[in-house]
Structures are given as C-alpha cells and as structure tokens.
Amino acid sequence: MRLTRYFLPVLKETPAEAQIVSHRLMLRAGMIKQASAGIYSWLPMGFKVLRKLENIIHQEQIRAGHIPIQMPIIQSADLWRESGRYDAYGAEMLRIKDRHDRDVLFTPTAEELVTDIFRSHVGSYKDLPLTLYQIQWKFRDEVRPRFGVMRGREFYMKDGYNFDLTKEDALHAYNRHLVSYLRTYERMGLQAIPMRADSGPIGGDDTHEFLVLAETGESEVFYDSQVTDLTFGDRDIDYDDRAQCQAVLDEFTSLYARTDETHDEALFNAIPADRRRVARGIEVGQIFYFGTKYSESMGATVADAQGNNVPVHMGSHGIGVSRLIGAIIEASHDENGIIWPEGVTPFHCGIVNLKQGDAEADAACDAIYKSLTALGLEPLYDDRNERAGGKFATMDLIGLPWRITVGPRGLKNGVVELTSRRTGESQELPPEQAVAKIHEIYQNL
RNA sequence: CGGGCUAUAGCGCAGUCUGGUAGCGCGUCCGUCUGGGGGACGGGAGGUCGUAGGUUCGAAUCCUGCUAGCCCGACCA
C-alpha cells in the first residue's frame, strides 16, 4: 500500500479523552474513532489488525476441531426468559423493543442461542463431541466505559460452546480450549497467563482467565514468577490425545497464578518469597466448564448408549478480540509509538523514501515494493512528499516492526537501511538483501 | 449509580472571573526554497463558541434547564 493512497489519519497531538497509552496510541495512529462512549469505528489500519487477530483465532480453533458459525446480534428475549437470565442479567444487557413491541436484546453472549440450535438438531450421543464457536460483535452496556477498546460497550469477541456427553468429555473440551488459547496468544506475540478465576454471571465450576501482564491492567494478579517462564512454543499437539491436553493444562496451571477474586494468601505465602509477584493484568480470555446449567434449563438432551435422555455437559470459552488490540499495545510500545509483534502487524514492513521525487530513490523504492509484494508480503510505502523526520515519526507511531529506509546517500553506495522498530538496530545492505531478510523473518514466523 | 470536571476551527488550548470586532499552536490548502528524525518564508480556507430558553441596548462570557464526553469510586470481558 502506498501511503498517499491509503487512509491513515494520524494525530500529532493526543486527544484529551484518552488516558491510557493504548487508547492514546490507537487514536494517534488513526486506528479507531470514537462514535460514542465505549463505541468505536475501526479505521483501515485498526480494522486490518482486528482481521489479523480474527484469522489467527479461526486457524487455531479449527485446528483444535472446533466449528465456526455465526449467530445474530439481536436476539429474542424469549430464549433468555427460558434460561432465567433475562431478569438475572441486569442493566448491562441492552434491551430493545421492535416495532411489534416485542422484547429483543443486543447479545452480550450466546449460551441461550447456541443451546437452542443444539437442541433443535442434535439428539444422539453419536453426534458428540461438538464445539461451535463464532467471532461476533457483542454489547454490554457498561456503566462506565473507559480505556478505549479495552473496556468498550460494543466489543468483538470469539465465543465458543462445547457440548459433550459426560463431564470427562467436557473437561477434555475445556483442556482443548486452554491449549488452543495458549497457542493463539503466543502467535499474537503475547504472554497470556491462565489464572484460576471466578465464574461471574455465566456461572460454573471450573474456570480460568487468561491475563496479559500490564501496568494498566484492571485486575490485580498474584503469581509465582516461574509461571512467566512457561512457553508453549512450536510443540506438536494432538487435540484428540486427552492425556497430552491434560498434561499441558497441568503444566500451565500448577504454579500459583490467581486474580484478586480467587487469591489465597496462605497458598501464595507458601511460594518462596523471591518468586512471589504481585502485578496487574488485562483479561483477554476466559474458559468455563459449567456442566448442565443451560442444558437442563433449556432441555438440551441427547440419547446415550442406553437410550436414556441425558442433559449434555457444556462449557463456554471466550477471547476478547477487540480488547486484545489494546492489550497488545499496552504490552508492546515505547515513547514513540506502537511496536507490533510480527504476527499481528498491519503491514509487514514500512518503506521510507527519504527524497520523494529523486529519480533514483523513487525507482529503488518501487523496486523494493514490487519485490516484497511478489513474495506475498504487504509493505506500507511512505511516498508522501514529506521530510525525513515526519516520515520516521509516522513509522515509529504506527509501529511496523521493520523499516527499509531508502535515500540518495545510501543508494550511491548501493545500500538501503533495514531497521528493527523494537531494538532500533539498523544495518546497511543492498536492497535485494533487505527484501530477502524481511521475507525470511516472516517465513520463520 | 454516587462524587468531581469539561464542552470555543480537524487536534491541543487561551478568552469566561470583570458582558462590547472570536484568538494562538499544530494540522490542512497554494507558492517558493529545502531534503537522513515533525525545516523556513509568503499567502489562503476553516468556528450560528454543545443545545434550548432567560437577563441585557448588547452574551463564548451572567442565570436556568437539557444533552454529550472525561476522571475517581462501586461494577465489569
């Protein structure tokens, strides 16, 4: 993409309404525009990142054997009365009347709807296990939205629901979700620590929240420092292998790691003092096993092998997609702007032409642009007639992980500059080698 | 939902106390010179001062209602 043909409304100054760094940077980098309190339009670059996260989530969910669907955002109140949550949910649920004066609502979550789909079409244990998920806009009418997309009212969320014959099967589904979430967050360049959590209004027995450590996190967290040494890496996983999935869960949840909701001072103090950590975290996902809570109230049963109708065991599992963008920026930025991890960056690299209009510099930039594009990479070429300082400032702000700087001075020696946004380190090398290097970086991702 | 604050050009702000020609910086548009970390000079465009009413010869400024947004708390993915 050529910057002169793109829509990237960057701001030099910070809008007054933004307090925390991710909100400020998202506004300044032209990713979002507030439409009203807690509701945002996603401008091209923000939308691009959102799509990248979504793609990673889809890939990892499908890899785990889970099946994508899409459910409506406006739902009838009837189903919610059936589960008893229409009255239980409270003012956070946005209730609307349609033209026939029927009660409808903007979905805050979809247990009722997915359970209705299930009970309409599934009747036998032979159809299990089944996990359906969607990535869809949700609405929770927060009393006080804040922190930009991290605590909006409208938010984009992956929500998945497993249906299993037995508790053991459902716990395996729970473990599958934990494993797939670990992989998902790592691909996004994030460390998200599973912590024992409280089940809240969704209800249930087993639940873990995934937290990204950040000073601006809304939750206070307590953990054993060894937990941050754990990485999933590129290990092979067989999602049908129960023992293997269980082993991953054990590995990642045995060390002490809890939010303030479930914090246990005595257990925490049993950790060697030098490993005790108290910090703040941003919740970016949560997994639940809640058994037959909805299947019983809504009659979601299957015939088991003996021909008895039994309620299915369920769980639900969420990833806050839009808030993840805020979390990634909170975890990865400096005083000049965002630093995108390679896995989620809106463009793979920036090309800065230091002297727009100079025949040689223009030609070299065009050639680099074409080479990168031919390799399947997406560069952002700053071809504006701006001075170098302005172009560098924009690139730093929007945070592309790699930058190729092209100027007449370097071209005289046959070189361009390749710079890492994260480390600031630069190397001079011929244009073809810079292209090859970028290609290599993304191939190894 | 309790407490506090704000609303003036695209963004950041001054002007309000003490009523009298609506300003500054950045951005933006045109031109010239520039050209390796937000450059210089010259010339433009852009605001019914959130909204409705009131006081007054006269209201961005004083008074009242309303709306929107922000911060702290309670709540929450």
Task: Summarize pLDDT for A260-305 with one digit per residue, the tens.
Answer: 888 889 999 999 999 999 999 999 999 999 999 899 999 999 999 9
Give how far Cα A209 sits from Cα of A48, A221, A403, A424, Å. 26, 11, 36, 34
* Contact between the CB of A320 and strand B at under 7 Å: yes
* Contact between the CB of A396 and strand B at under 7 Å: yes
* Contact between the CB of A103 and strand B at under 7 Å: no
Q: Which of residues 215-274 of A touch strand B (CB under 7 A)?
A: 218-219
Measured in angstroms, what separates residue A365's CA from nucleotide B3's C1'? Answer: 57
Summarised one tens digit per residue, pLDDT across range A19-32 is: 899 999 999 999 99
Burial-class residue A196 by CB neighbours within 10 Å (0-12, 13-18, 19+).
middle
Measured in angstroms, what separates residue A219's CA from nucleotide B50's C1'? Answer: 36
Half-sphere exposure of A421 (CA within 13 A, CB side): 31
CATH of domain A349-443: 3.40.50.800
pLDDT of residue A183: 97
Residues of chain A with pLDDT under 70: 199-205
* Contact between the CB of A27 and strand B at under 7 Å: no
- Four-residue CA torsion sign, A34, A38, A41, A47: positive
Nearest CA-CA partner of A135 in A62, A75, A189, A204: A62
* Contact between the CB of A425 and strand B at under 7 Å: no
User: Quick one: A3-338 is in which CATH superfamily?
Assistant: Bira Bifunctional Protein; Domain 2 (3.30.930.10)
Give the pairing of strands A349-353 and A402-406.
parallel
Domains A3-338 and A349-443 share a fold: no
The four Cα atoms A40, A158, A344, A63 give a dihedral, to 10 degrees, of -160
User: In the complex, which nucleotide's C1' lies nearest to the CA atom of residue A358?
Assistant: B35
pLDDT of residue A143: 87
User: In the complex, which nucleotide's C1' lies nearest to the CA atom of residue A322?
Assistant: B77
Measured in angstroms, what separates residue A148's CA from nucleotide B19's C1'? Answer: 40
Sequence spans of domains, chain A:
3-338, 349-443
pLDDT of residue A199: 63
* Contact between the CB of A152 and strand B at under 7 Å: yes
pLDDT of residue A377: 98
Q: Which nucleotides of B are covered by protein (CB under 7 A)?
A: 1-2, 11-13, 25-27, 34-39, 68-77
Q: How far apart are the C-alpha atoms of A156 and A213, rounded to whole Å? A: 21
pLDDT of residue A204: 53
